[in-house]
Structure formats: structure tokens, C-alpha cells
Structure 1
Amino acid sequence: MIESPYFPYAFALVIAIPFLIYARQFVYSYIKFKNQELNFMTVKGQSEQRIHAYERITLFLERIKPANLVSKFDEDLEAHEFLFLTEKTINEEFDYNASQQLYLTKNSWTKVVNSKSSILHLLHKTYENLSNESTLQDFKTVFLMNYMNEQDYISSCIEDLRKENLIIN
């Protein structure tokens, strides 16, 4: 047998190559698994954020329903004070929830904005059509009647959000 000074190195290399290949495969598989796990967590996190956005927008829409608006604030207010406070409350809550548009479709967000605008328009239209000696109770009654005579766009918007949420998730 020919003894070469490089024989021990060659022998060590022959034995080390399978272990290096195995280690490389292990590291590659581990990185691939971690990337899949990260992607899953990202999708899950986005899904949870989307669900939370739908919940917050639905709550906003429920709060601006006329039946809920007329029960707010003190009964001793004048109609113009009630109008001011209600409009302020709606706008503040809308501004607070505006970031949720990132998680809704453009069509749904447009419906939410239209619902808010329609309620504000209905409030002002009701106030303008009342006589000066009308009480707050008269204003609230006429406001509810006007809303009932129109299409229930808030409930329609909530139903569309519900359907959209089921499709996405």
C-alpha cells in the first residue's frame, strides 16, 4: 500500500463530506420551515386584524343608527344642541375608526362613509324642516320617522360587511 502524507486528510474528507451534506440539508430544511411558520403567522395576524376591523366598523355603524342616537344625551337639551353633540360624536368616532379602512375593501369603506354622510345629512335635513317651537322629543321623533321612510342603508352596509367577512375568512 502506498502511504502518502495526504492519506489521513483524504480519509477525513471522505468521512466528513456526508456529514456536511446532511448538515446543509438540515439547515436548509430548518430555514424553509421557519419561513413557512413566519408566513403562516403573518397571514393569521392579518386575518385577526381584519376581523377586528370588521368588528369595529360594525360597532360604529350600530352606534350611528338613529334608534341608538336618539337615546344619547340629556333630555333637557335643545334640538340644535342635540344636533351639534350628535354630529360631533359621529365625526369623532368615525375619525377614530378611519384606520380600519386598510382592512376593508374599497367598496365596503365607501358604503361606511356613505352611511355616515347619510345620517349626518338626515340629521341636518330634519333640523331644517322643524319649526322653531319644536322640542327635542319632536326632533327625535321626526328624525326616526325620516330614517324609517328611507332605505335602511346602515343595516344593508352591516349585512354587506358580514357577507364580505365570511368570504375573506
Structure 2
Amino acid sequence: MEDIILESIGYILPAAVTGLVAYYMFNGFIRQQNSEKSLELLAQKKKESLPIKLQAYERMLLFCERINPVKMLVRVKPVSENTQDYLQLLIASVEQEFEHNLVQQIYISNDSWTAILATKNAIINKLKQVAETSDSANSLRENVIIHYSKSLPPTDTAISFIKNEVKRLL
């Protein structure tokens, strides 16, 4: 009886060891295959999303250029001599540009979006500040141009930030 048990163990033990070795080898192979497929899918996804992200950054850079106070004053002429009317026209122009590009926040980083929001708000606040000391629409234009000839507009900071983000993407 002992011989039968020893003989059975002699057959079962090598089969079990071979089975375990085969299991671990196939398990490792399957894991490696899954990992390679995941990396391929991730690379494909990045390849497809990069053009969309770059386009979003381009649009936000264009937005910053369009709300640059000096460039905006050249493009948006006053309709009357009333300072408040011109101020409202300028603010409406900034807000319209912003709303047109609002969806781009999906594709750009949170830091870039925060910089763009800060830029937009800084420009609107500065326009309001300068309007308080201006007595006509032309005076407002002159005062804004004088102010930004002495200091960089916030749009330059946002544009620089956007360019750095794009360099990191590429």
C-alpha cells in the first residue's frame, strides 16, 4: 500500500510542479500583453488628443491677444464721448471674447485657465479704475494707453504661461 502511495506521489508531484510553472509563466505573459495593450491605447489616445489640446491653447493665446488693452482700444472705437458707455463697450467686448472661448477650459490645464481668468479680470478692473479718472471716452483711451506703455499688460504674462504649457506638451 505504501508503494502505491509513493508511486502516486511520484506521478502527481512532477505534474503539479509543471502545472504551477506553466501557470506562472502564462500569467506573467498575459500581464505583459495587457500592459503593452494599455500603453498602446494610452499612446493612441494622446496622439489623438494632442491636436485638440494645441488648438485650444492657440485659441486661448488668440483670446489674450484680442483682449490686450492697447490692441483692443485700436480695434474698438468709442461710439460716443461718454466714458461709461465706452467702458461698457470695452467690457462687453472682453466678455464676448471670453464667452466665445469658454469651452476651451476642457482642453487646457487648470493653471493655464486660472492665468487666463486672472488676466481677463485684471484687464476689466484696470479699465474700470482708469475710467473713474477719465472725463471722456478719448481720455479713457489715452489713459489706458499711457498706463500700459509704462507696464506690461497682464495678457503678456498669460501668453508666456500658455507658451510654456505648450512647450511641455510637445
Q: TM-score, normalised by structure 2?
A: 0.69
Q: Which of 99, 107, 111 is the equivalent residue of 1:103?
A: 107
Per-residue deviation, 1:36:
7.7
Change (3 A) 1:111 1:54: same
Task: Name the count of aligned residue pairs.
Answer: 136
State the distance in 2 between where 1:97 and 1:109 align. 11
Change (3 A) 1:111 1:36: closer
Per-residue deviation, 1:50:
0.5
State the distance in 2 between where 1:73 and 1:130 align. 17
Residues 58-137 of structure 1 aligned to structure 2 (within 5 Å): 58-78=61-81, 79-131=83-135, 135-137=136-138
State the distance in 2 between where 1:110 and 1:141 align. 29
Counterpart secondary structure, 1:71:
helix
**What are structure 1's unaligned runs of at least 5 residues?**
1-32
State the distance in 1 between where 2:48 and 2:80 align. 45
Q: Greater CA deviation, 96-105 or 145-154?
A: 145-154
Higher helix share goes to which structure?
Answer: 2
Counterpart secondary structure, 1:142:
helix
Ranges of 4+ aligned residues in structure 1 off by more than 4 Å: 33-41
Counterpart secondary structure, 2:74:
coil
Q: Greater CA deviation, 137-146 or 148-157?
A: 148-157
Change (3 A) 1:154 1:74: closer
Q: TM-score, normalised by structure 1?
A: 0.70
Change (3 A) 1:86 1:152: closer
Please tell me the root mean square deviation across aligned C-alpha atoms, in Å: 2.4
Contact 1:73 1:82 in 2 (8 A): no
State the distance in 2 between where 1:167 and 1:126 align. 37
State the distance in 1 between where 2:145 and 2:129 align. 12
Contact 2:68 2:153 in 1 (8 A): no
Contact 1:56 1:97 in 2 (8 A): yes
Contact 1:122 1:146 in 2 (8 A): no
> Which residue of the partner structure matches residue 164 of structure 1?
165
Per-residue deviation, 1:75:
4.5
Percentage identity across aligned positions? 25
State the distance in 2 between where 1:65 and 1:73 align. 12
> Which residue of the partner structure matches residue 147 of structure 1?
148
